Structure 1
Amino acid sequence: MGRKRYILPKRVFDVTFSLLVIVLILSWLTPIVAIIIFLESGERIFFTQKRVGKNGKSFKIYKFKSMRGKSPLNDPLLSIDEAKRITKFGHVLRKYRIDEFPQFFNVLKGEMSVVGPRPERQIFLDEIIKHIPKYKEIQKLKPGITSLGQIRFGYADNLDQMLKRARYDLIYLDNLSIYTDFKVILSTIKVVFEGKGR
C-alpha cells in the first residue's frame, strides 16, 4: 500500500481504536490508578514529558506516573538510571504496559498513532541519527504507543540497545501497511497479557 493511501485508513483506525480504549477501559481504570498512586506515594496521576513527533515537532506525551519525584531537568537519564525511583505499583504499571494507556489521548489529538516508531527525547534522537543517519526519515511518521522495535527488542537501557531497537523502526518504515500495524497490535496485546513489559 502506498504511503498516501495508508494515511487515511490509519487515522480512522487510530481514532476509532483510541475512543474504544478510552471509553471502555480508561474511563474506569483511571480513577483506580489515581487512588493507588495517591495512597502509595502521594504523587499526581499523570507524568508528562516532551518528545519528538512527526516532522520534528515536539509534543507532551502522557503516561500514568510510575516513579517518585521529578526527572532531573538537565539530565535526560535512560531507564536503567531511573529504576531506583520506580514505585511498587509503578512496576506493575510497567510490567503490563498500563502506564502507556494515557497516550491514547495523544493519538486522539493527532500527535501519535497506535502503531509507529518509539517517541524519543531530542537528545537521544540526535544520538541515534548520528550513528544511523537514515533514522532521520523516521520523523516522516507519527510516533506510536507501540512499535515493531518495542515488540521485537523491548525497552532500551543504553545507547547501544537504542540503536538496535531503532533498526526495527526502519524495518517498519519500509513495510508500512495496515496489515503490519495489525500484526504489531496483536503482538502487543500478547505482551501485555503475559506481563512482559518492565
Structure 2
Amino acid sequence: MAEVREGVSLNTSPEVLGIEHSLDKPVYEKVKRLLDIILCLIAFPIGVVLVILAAIFIKIESKGSIFYSQERLGKSGKKFKLYKLRSMSIDAEKNGVQWAKRNDPRVTKVGKVIRKTRIDEIPQIWNILKGDMAIVGPRPEREVFYDKFENEGIPFRRRLLVTPGLTGLAQVNGGYDMSPEEKLEWDMVYMRERNFIMDMKIIFKTVTVVFTGSGAR
C-alpha cells in the first residue's frame, strides 16, 4: 500500500492509471460518508473559532470579502461552489486564470499563514456536509484546468471518478510544490488503493499541519 510520506517515486504505468476496477467499493463509500459527517460535526466548534480569528486578520489587512467561493468540478464532473477563506489579493486574477503555486506572489501576508496551516480550507466543512466533497480525496479543481491539462495530454479528468476531498494524498506529499502530472500520479495511487487506514493516515497528517504548520507546503 502507498505510504503517506515524501520522496516516493511514482510512475504512470497502466496498473496505476487503470483504476476503474478499484472504484466499486459501496460499503467503504457509505461508511466513509457517515464518518465524514461525524468528524465534521466534531470539528465544527474548533473550526468556527479558527475561522473567526482568521477573518478578523483578513479584514484588518485588506479590503474585500472574507470568504471566497469558486466553481469546481466534483464527482462525475458535477459543478459545485467551493468555499474558502480569502488568502489572495482581490485582484489575484487580473491577468487571467493561474494555477496556484508555492510562494505565489498573489497571496497576502495573512494568506500565507492560513494557507500554510490549511485554515483557509475550513469553510469546506460545509461542502462536505452537503455531499459535494469528502474529507479525503483528490482536491477539486476548476473546469478550465481540467480542459487545459487534458489538452496537454494529461488525463486529469480521471480524478472525477471519485468524490473530491478537503485533503488528499497529493496534498500531504507536496501540495503546491507539485506539477499537475505529479499531483495526478498521487491521486491515482489514492484512487486505486483507498481504504480506511490510508484515509486516517492522511487525516492525521493534515491535522498535524493545521495545528503545527509542520510539513505544510
TM-score over 0.5 for the alignment? yes
Cα separation, 1, equivalents of 2:137 and 2:108:
28
Point out the structure with the larger helix share.
Answer: 1
1:27 is displaced (CA, Å) by 2.5
C-alpha separation in 2, matches of 1:56 and 1:73:
27
- The reply to whether residue 197 of structure 1 matches residue 216 of structure 2 is yes
Number of the residue aligned with 1:96 = 117
Query: SS at 2:26's partner residue?
Result: helix
Partners of 1:51 and 1:61 within 8 A in 2: yes
Which deviates more from structure 2 when the two are superposed, residues 91-100 or residues 75-84?
75-84
CA contact (8 A) 2:102 2:176 kept: no
Partner in structure 1 of residue 9 of structure 2: none
Residues 69 and 82 of structure 1: CA distance in aligned 2, closer, same or farther (over 3 Å): farther
Task: Give the aligned residue type for 2:141.
Answer: E
Partner Cα distance (2:69, 2:103) in 1: 15
What is the CA deviation profile of residues 150-177 of structure 1, one whole-angstrom value per residue up to 9, with x for unaligned ones? 11222157xxx11111101000110121
Figure out how many residues of one structure are paired with residues of the other and give that number: 193
- Aligned-partner SS, 1:83: coil
What does residue 136 of structure 1 align with? Answer: 157
Q: Residue 176 of structure 2 aligns with which residue? A: 155
Quick one: structure 1 residues 153 and 66, their matched pair in 2 at CA, closer, same or farther if it must change by over 3 Å?
A: same
Does 1:179 find its partner at 2:200?
no
Q: Counterparts of 1:192 and 1:127 in 2: how far apart (Å)? A: 31
2:186 maps to what in 1?
168
Which one scores higher on RCO, CA 8 angstroms, separation ≥ 6? 2
What stretches of structure 2 of length at least 5 have no aligned partner? Answer: 1-21
1:81 shift after superposition: 9.5
Cα distance between partner residues in 2 of 1:76 and 1:142:
24
Structure 2 CA distance for aligned equivalents of residues 57 and 173 of structure 1: 18
Tell me if the contact between 1:115 and 1:184 (Cα under 8 Å) persists in the aligned partners. Answer: yes
**Percent identity for Structure 1 against Structure 2:** 38
Amino acid at match of 2:175: G
- Runs of 4 or more above 4 Å deviation: none
Q: Which runs of 5+ in 1 are unaligned?
A: none
| 1:37 Cα deviation after fit | 1.3
**What residue identity is the alignment partner of 2:198?**
T
1:3 aligns with 2:22: no
Over 3 Å counting, the alpha-carbon distance change for 1:34 and 1:190 in structure 2 is closer
Match of 1:18 among 21, 40, 46: 40
Q: TM-score, normalised by structure 2?
A: 0.80
Give 1:82 deviation, angstroms.
8.8
Counterpart position of 2:98: 77
- Measured after TM superposition, the shift of residue 42 of structure 1 is 2.6
With structure 1 as the length reference, what TM-score do the two structures score?
Answer: 0.87
> Does the 8 A contact of 1:50 with 1:58 survive in 2?
yes
Give yes or no for the alignment of 1:53 onto 2:71: no
- RMSD (Å) for aligned C-alpha atoms: 2.2
